Structure 1
């Protein structure tokens, strides 16, 4: 029966004609539901194997480790309550108001390296290598080899980066904890590099979902040689980026809820590299009076 004849049928006969087996489209393939269709399928890079597992199948249950984690969380909770009686971040009000320098990360043992993670384009099929270890003088020693050749997957066009980023600080029961640097205006580092330029990126707490990839970045120029260099970068110099792209709508860095800080190398110069960090801190420079170094977009300007 043609479609024109079906359109001219009355409603009752039209319903009866639906049961006509000649109008149904037969399929030779069986109707099956894929196992991964039940869960959210994330983007997978070309060449990576398909992980055919549910999220709960990767969980390992261990009673002894769970008991130790509970004790650790209650210990952190006790410390949080005791710090609030003393003052902000466990310091008295007088010391908090008069504080002009604060060391955030100091590398004085192997346990200090556990607060950092390293990554490179090897995760997407690249050839760059990056390693992190404790230096001879109890410093953070980051080294490796940079390779800008893109992977041969037919999709990736650019490659060649190595990065080191601090882990998200956590309070008791895996609650997010933020750094409050609102009393300071300058980032202070003591580094020793090989002459390569690095990118310093600071991530803050995102209030909206589309801000989760926002980073405040600025450049770190190392001069090379055997001597250490003290680098002071005002927070007003950091500019807003999203996935490596500088945004048109700029605004100052939110210092009240800082999550992580990272160092990225991507100067497209193939070869070995190294960066040694003694400490990372913040300070208050009274000679610096600049609020923000870049032009801001004024919304709803006055007429």
Structure 2
């Protein structure tokens, strides 16, 4: 292990110990529930981007491409931002037709191991996941993004998922607010037949995926991203998007 990686590992271990102490104090009633905004992920430096794991269908025989770069052109408040981009393709390599499925690209934060265990995020007392993003790329690829949450637990194929809908089509920055209660439990890419309430005290990873294979979409894609935060209603300044009960139709919540 290199010195820089060892330093990061030890820093995470110290954070794990501090977070554990804070949780014990909260359980003892020493602190009120924390409702202030929590920054979960930022995309403003090479160090931030180095904490991400990337993957696409090319890993299993597809032909899509994936990149995550630091963007110094499309900045937010003077800071560089992340640019998630590539080419979405439904084709697979010769000889793998019918055996693998193309049309996938995504990223998430790497799992954060420490000397004492794994660091997770606690959003129990927060209502919304807030994403500061910029939709670019081909217009047809903008409707196939999903936000993914993985909780600590024995079933690693369980992912909580929600569609990512944009309000702007001009490539400008916007804040998208998704109610955490509206995430749907999926397993191995399929909606779970038995839906349960998401336990939000141990969020293991947060990510975004582009699922062109689900909608038959191909073409160049690009998503700018500045940050992902956890907020409450007092911090939300526009009506959030809400998922309909059938999981397929969407409507904007009334003001």
Interval containing the TM-score (normalised by the shorter chain) = 0.7 to 0.9
Partners of 1:73 and 1:157 in 2: how far apart?
A: 36
Shift of 1:100: 2.2
- What is residue 97 of structure 1 aligned with on the other side? 33
Ranges in structure 1 where 5+ consecutive residues have no aligned partner: 1-64, 296-303
- What is residue 203 of structure 1 aligned with on the other side? 150
Question: Is the 2:16–2:119 Cα contact (8 Å) retained in structure 1?
Answer: no
Distance 1:72 1:141, change over 3 A: closer
1:221 is the counterpart of 2:165: yes
- What is residue 52 of structure 2 aligned with on the other side? 116
Distance 1:66 1:277, change over 3 A: closer
Partners of 2:13 and 2:3 in 1: how far apart?
A: 15
Partners of 1:139 and 1:90 in 2: how far apart?
A: 36
Distance 1:89 1:199, change over 3 A: farther
Partners of 1:277 and 1:68 in 2: how far apart?
A: 26
- What is residue 148 of structure 1 aligned with on the other side? 90
Question: Is the 1:250–1:294 Cα contact (8 Å) retained in structure 2?
Answer: no
Which of 177, 181, 184 does residue 232 from structure 1 map onto?
A: 177
Q: Which has the higher helix share?
A: 1
Distance 1:90 1:78, change over 3 A: farther
Partners of 2:56 and 2:113 in 1: how far apart?
A: 25
Question: Is the 2:88–2:105 Cα contact (8 Å) retained in structure 1?
Answer: yes
Distance 1:293 1:88, change over 3 A: farther
Give the 3-state SS of the residue equivalent to 2:47 in structure 1.
helix
Question: Is the 1:107–1:140 Cα contact (8 Å) retained in structure 2?
Answer: yes
Question: Is the 1:216–1:241 Cα contact (8 Å) retained in structure 2?
Answer: yes
Which of 205, 229, 235 does residue 281 from structure 1 map onto?
A: 229
Question: Is the 2:57–2:101 Cα contact (8 Å) retained in structure 1?
Answer: no
Q: Which has the higher strand share?
A: 2
Partners of 2:209 and 2:5 in 1: how far apart?
A: 33
Which of 249, 252, 256 does residue 194 from structure 2 map onto?
A: 249
Question: Is the 2:40–2:121 Cα contact (8 Å) retained in structure 1?
Answer: no
- What is residue 120 of structure 2 aligned with on the other side? 178
Partners of 2:219 and 2:200 in 1: how far apart?
A: 36
Instruction: Specify which structure has the bigger relative contact order, considering alpha-carbon pairs within 8 angstroms and separated by 6 or more residues.
Output: 2
Distance 1:83 1:177, change over 3 A: closer
Distance 1:232 1:70, change over 3 A: closer
Give the 3-state SS of the residue equivalent to 1:122 in structure 2.
helix
Query: How many pairs were matched up?
Result: 222
Give the 3-state SS of the residue equivalent to 1:139 in structure 2.
strand
Shift of 1:144: 0.3
